[in-house]
Chain A
Amino acid sequence: MPKHPTPKLDELESGPWPSFVSDIKQEAVNRIENPNKVEHQIPADCPEDLLGVLELSYNDGETHWKHGGIVGVFGYGGGVIGRYCDQPEQFPSVAQFHTLRVNQPSAKYYDTKYLRAVCDLWERRGSGLTNMHGSTGDIVLLGTQTPQLEEIFFELTHDLDSDLGGSGSNLRTPECCLGPSRCEFACFDTQDICHDLTLSYQDELHRPAFPYKFKFKFDGCPNGCVAAIARADFSLIGTWKDDIKMDHSAVAAYVGGEFAPNAGAHSGRNWGKFDIQKEVVERCPTGCMSWDGSKLRINNRECTRCMHCINAMPRALRIGSERGASIFVGAKAPVLDGAQMGSLLLPFVEVTPPYTEVKDIIEKIWDWWMSEGKNRERLGETIRRLSFQRLLDVTGIKPQAAHVQEPRHNPYMFFKEDEVPGGFERDLEAHRKRHKR
């Protein structure tokens, strides 16, 4: 017999997509039956109370959670989100239901020994419910009580060799695509730099000193599988400088129908015979390709590396050899001044350990943003308020045409005093000799 009737939620058990309601119920049974004789450190029936409070929200259309200022474990300013139920008498087992963010390994590969250790820890000291994973990439452990926080942290660090992730005005847990581990498009080792920077900036991740959140994300190529350009204050997106490599016999195999275009990604529908002229050459945004019926040509100098032709014919076209990344800064969700995409800061940087050039730019940006950013202002907003030129000044990067979609529309330019012969101090008397008052 369930503790709380949940007729509305029960309707979410049918239908083909995996049901989170069924899964929570399964965990509720596991905790009550407790076949492994786990010494639960928080109430065993908290999954049932979670279903109960959620059913209440389904009935009244309002949340029943309150925020709490708990931030983490001793000395950390992030990694824990405090949550309290606003109906604690009705749902005592979730009266406190705090979340922990655990920093995931880069690109979320696991072995089952590690995952089981996470499960054991969380079955004993938490609700047994997780998010795999949170939006920023952490393993999210959903629901525990205050006295457990330090105990969980102790076991995480001592037994699992793992640490908490970021929240609040910290560096947030960095995230990357799987990069060269399983992708032929990767222009740099996304996992390695993500891991290296995560370790290099542990203090920034755990102890807040920023005006607001700050996110790193690493996409191995312009396809952007972790959405760095939309989400990260600082992102590296893989690119290359030399020519796309071409295998002419493989091009012929695509044209001849031996290889499925776009790696077979369109195979569920009959789109007709692959037409290289229409599907590749004419879709190229720069028009830098041509097909004469037997040979494909690319004017690489004009290519902007959009990935379309490579995506469409991955066995025939490959990324170049002179690889690295472009740096983009300032992406954010809409709050407050509207959403921003990352803006190009540096067209090309080599991405090789120990990543000195990248770190140098990051630290220059932080020094500036920490002193001049307003409270609750994301980097992208600081740049808008104080100008892109200021960002170039503090990072020592030379302005170039690649920085803009188009030059400015108005002539209200600021000149630096040393750009003008004689500076801004002018000789009024000399002027008066030439011009009467």
Chain B
Amino acid sequence: MTVTSSGYNPEKPMENRVSDIGPRRYDEFYPPVIARNKGKWLYHEFLAPGVLVHTAESGEKVYTLRCGASRLMSVTHLREICAIADKYCKGFVRFTTRNNIEFMTDNPEDLQALKADLSTRAFPGGSQKFPVGGTGAGISNIVHTQGWVHCHTPATDASGPVKAVMDELFAEFGAMRLPAHLRISLACCINMCGAVHCSDIGLVGVHRKPPMVDHEWTGRLCEMPLAVASCPTGAVRQVKVERNGEEVKSLAINKDRCMYCGNCYTMCPALPISDGFGDGIAVMVGGKVSNRITAPKFSKVVVAYIPNEPPRWPKVTAVVKNIVEIYAAGARKYERLGEWVERIGWERFFSLAGLEFTHHLIDDFRDPAYYTWRQTTQFKF
């Protein structure tokens, strides 16, 4: 490929170099109604699923239309968002922490026109480009990681299972009929670069087989001390092996200590970990980050392993949908999924969900384990 210069001179990297300037200042991008009323908002209301209105001391109102989006987004789609923002929102738009798009206007008529416009936009395959929802006591967009699209240690895809789960739960994205809001997250391996460990429902890619050692390449591709140091459980060690009658230095994995995190593969490509038959998804339940009523909670593993079933992961989506349904039927108003399970008890949750309680679900990893066993006579038969 030809490289058209930006002005950068590779002979003199420091020439004319600008660095350490950080991001653009946030208030350059405020819609005027936001700039005028910052810090002076009085209250908000959900007018409909996906539609918020905030009222300021001045009496001014800002209407926000929230839409779902795929976090993997093309510049063509982004330009379509820009065209919409220019037409209805004075050229401003924002994104939420959960990869939703927010269009804001101070004009209720523009809001209605915008809503009508968005409802007509669809991809050729039939999926909606801008589904409105993700507010209140419902399900918002799923935050997730890269998966097979771009990561080197994933145990599952991310965008695909997210699309499949959101299709299944689509009605709840556009409704506010659950007992409280419900947050779903997906991380494609246990390193959880997406930090999904405090979600109402967390889907986590899990490997189940230790890495293989490609003795032919360890010496050529890897600095072995770094691979040894990268292992969080000390399961990687240097060894001498025989290869073609010659003794060569290589690595060995202690299979009993390996927790399948893939960190050694990051440092040493001769330790491949992915395995089409070993890899899959674990389901976690009952986490939250809000301090509302009860303290923030970690999610707990309720299904140790579901095989990957691309392209639509039917077993995963069925488990998630079932959990949402029993929660919706059983929880009290305002009760988050984790609060509901704690009230009814985990033994009741497993029977209601029809999930088998397997040995994998009893914590045996270091300190926190003991505190999760039962130390009371109070339990349910």
B366 contacts across to A, CB distance below 8 A? 337-338
A306 touches B292 (CB 8 A): yes
B157 closest partner in A (C-beta): A57
Known: A12-B160, A151-B3. A336 touches B289 (CB 8 A): no
Known: A12-B164, A266-B137. A227 touches B195 (CB 8 A): yes
B10 closest partner in A (C-beta): A150
Query: Of residues B4, B13, B154, B289, which shows the largest number of chain A Cβ atoms within 10 Å of its Cβ?
Result: B289
CA A30 – CA B79 in complex, angstroms?
12
Flag whether A161 is at the interface (Cβ < 8 A).
yes
Flag whether B225 is at the interface (Cβ < 8 A).
no
A122 closest partner in B (C-beta): B75
Flag whether B192 is at the interface (Cβ < 8 A).
yes
CA A114 – CA B91 in complex, angstroms?
10
List residues of A (81-136) whose CB comes within 8 Å of B's CBs: 83, 97, 99, 103-116, 118-119, 122-124, 128-133, 135
Among B62-70, B211-219, B247-255, B349-357, the one that faces the other chain is: B62-70
Q: In the assembled complex, how far is the CB of residue B372 from the closest CB belonging to chain A, in whole angstroms?
A: 10
Known: A199-B22, A231-B195, A279-B333. A26 touches B85 (CB 8 A): no
Q: In the assembled complex, how far is the CB of residue A129 from the closest CB belonging to chain B, in whole angstroms?
A: 6
Flag whether A223 is at the interface (Cβ < 8 A).
yes
Counting contact residues on chain B (CB < 8 A from A), the size range is 35 or more
CA A429 – CA B164 in complex, angstroms?
79
A271-291 vs B, CB cutoff 8 Å, 1 = contact: the mask equals 100000001000101000000
A224 contacts across to B, CB distance below 8 A? 289-291, 296
B334 closest partner in A (C-beta): A283
A376 contacts across to B, CB distance below 8 A? 230, 232
Flag whether B151 is at the interface (Cβ < 8 A).
yes
Q: What does DSSP make chain A's interface, helix, strand, loop or mixed?
A: mixed
Flag whether A248 is at the interface (Cβ < 8 A).
no
B49 contacts across to A, CB distance below 8 A? 268
Partner of B28 from the list A20, A97, A105 (CB cut-off 8 Å) is: A105
Counting contact residues on chain A (CB < 8 A from B), the size range is 35 or more
Query: Of residues A47, A224, A268, A311, which shows the largest number of chain B Cβ atoms within 10 Å of its Cβ?
Result: A268
A41 touches B170 (CB 8 A): no
CA A142 – CA B71 in complex, angstroms?
11
List residues of B (52-91) whose CB comes within 8 Å of A's CBs: 54, 62, 64, 68-79, 81-83, 85-86, 91
Q: In the assembled complex, how far is the CB of residue B217 from the closest CB belonging to chain A, in whole angstroms?
A: 12
CA A183 – CA B54 in complex, angstroms?
8
B195 touches A63 (CB 8 A): no
Known: A41-B3, A54-B149, A230-B195. A123 touches B75 (CB 8 A): yes
Q: In the assembled complex, how far is the CB of residue A260 from the closest CB belonging to chain B, in whole angstroms?
A: 7
Flag whether B21 is at the interface (Cβ < 8 A).
yes
A111 touches B29 (CB 8 A): yes
Known: A162-B24, A180-B38. A335 touches B310 (CB 8 A): no
Partner of B39 from the list A104, A145, A189, A223 (CB cut-off 8 Å) is: A189
Flag whether A366 is at the interface (Cβ < 8 A).
no
Flag whether A17 is at the interface (Cβ < 8 A).
yes
CA A76 – CA B41 in complex, angstroms?
40
B171-206 vs A, CB cutoff 8 Å, 1 = contact: the mask equals 001011110010000010011111111100000000
B97 touches A271 (CB 8 A): no
A181 touches B70 (CB 8 A): no
Q: In the assembled complex, how far is the CB of residue B54 from the closest CB belonging to chain A, in whole angstroms?
A: 6
Partner of A230 from the list B7, B46, B265, B289 (CB cut-off 8 Å) is: B289
Partner of A119 from the list B70, B78, B150, B197 (CB cut-off 8 Å) is: B78
B287 contacts across to A, CB distance below 8 A? 230
Partner of A18 from the list B24, B70, B138 (CB cut-off 8 Å) is: B70
A61-76 vs B, CB cutoff 8 Å, 1 = contact: the mask equals 1111111000000111
CA A18 – CA B78 in complex, angstroms?
13
Q: In the assembled complex, how far is the CB of residue A407 from the closest CB belonging to chain B, in whole angstroms?
A: 17
Known: A67-B269, A158-B7, A184-B41. A116 touches B150 (CB 8 A): no
Q: In the assembled complex, how far is the CB of residue A352 from the closest CB belonging to chain B, in whole angstroms?
A: 13
The 8 closest A-B pairs by CB, nearest first: A13-B125, A265-B136, A61-B276, A15-B167, A268-B177, A22-B123, A27-B74, A222-B291
Listed by A's residue number, 30 A-B pairs whose Cβ atoms lie within 8 Å are A20-B163, A23-B70, A27-B74, A57-B157, A61-B279, A62-B279, A63-B274, A65-B152, A97-B150, A108-B95, A109-B94, A112-B82, A129-B72, A142-B150, A151-B6, A160-B24, A181-B30, A184-B43, A195-B26, A230-B197, A263-B43, A264-B136, A265-B46, A265-B135, A265-B176, A266-B176, A279-B333, A308-B293, A335-B261, A339-B197
